[in-house]
Amino acid sequence: MKPNEELVDALREALKGVARVRRQVTYGEAATLVGLSMKRPPDRAALGQLLQSVCKTECADGRPLLGSVVVRKDTGMPGEGYFKVARQLRPGGPTDDREFHRVELARVHEQWAE
């Protein structure tokens, strides 16, 4: 199922704001930004699809993976879905997940920082 383009755009703009101030947000915070709740399984799935769409669009436009600013509260790292999509979009990156995320997050912050 294709995600709602209005929600994709809203999430992209919200995440750009996060990146501009060189911050990160949790999945729960990201969900709230577009009216979703991580307490609801359908909303969790929807957020994953929205983030995937944002990352694919940013990559297609030659920019870093904006979804890198969204992390799990318990680990401070993105979830498995992020790495699955990110490694397809950015082949040849560091093989260590932490290093891959560190590099991509730095690229995002550099792209959007004020």
Q: What confidence tens digit (pLDDT) does each residue in 6-54 have?
A: 999 999 999 999 999 999 999 999 999 999 999 999 999 999 999 999 9
- Distance from C-alpha of 114 to C-alpha of 105, rounded to nearest angstrom: 15
Model pTM score = 0.94
How many C-beta atoms lie closer than 10 Å to residue 71's C-beta? 21
pLDDT at 28: 97
Per-residue pLDDT tens over the stretch 56-84? 999 999 999 999 999 999 999 999 999 99
CA atoms within 13 A on the CB side of 39: 2
Q: Give all domains of the chain, ordered by start, each with its CATH number.
A: 5-112 (1.10.10)
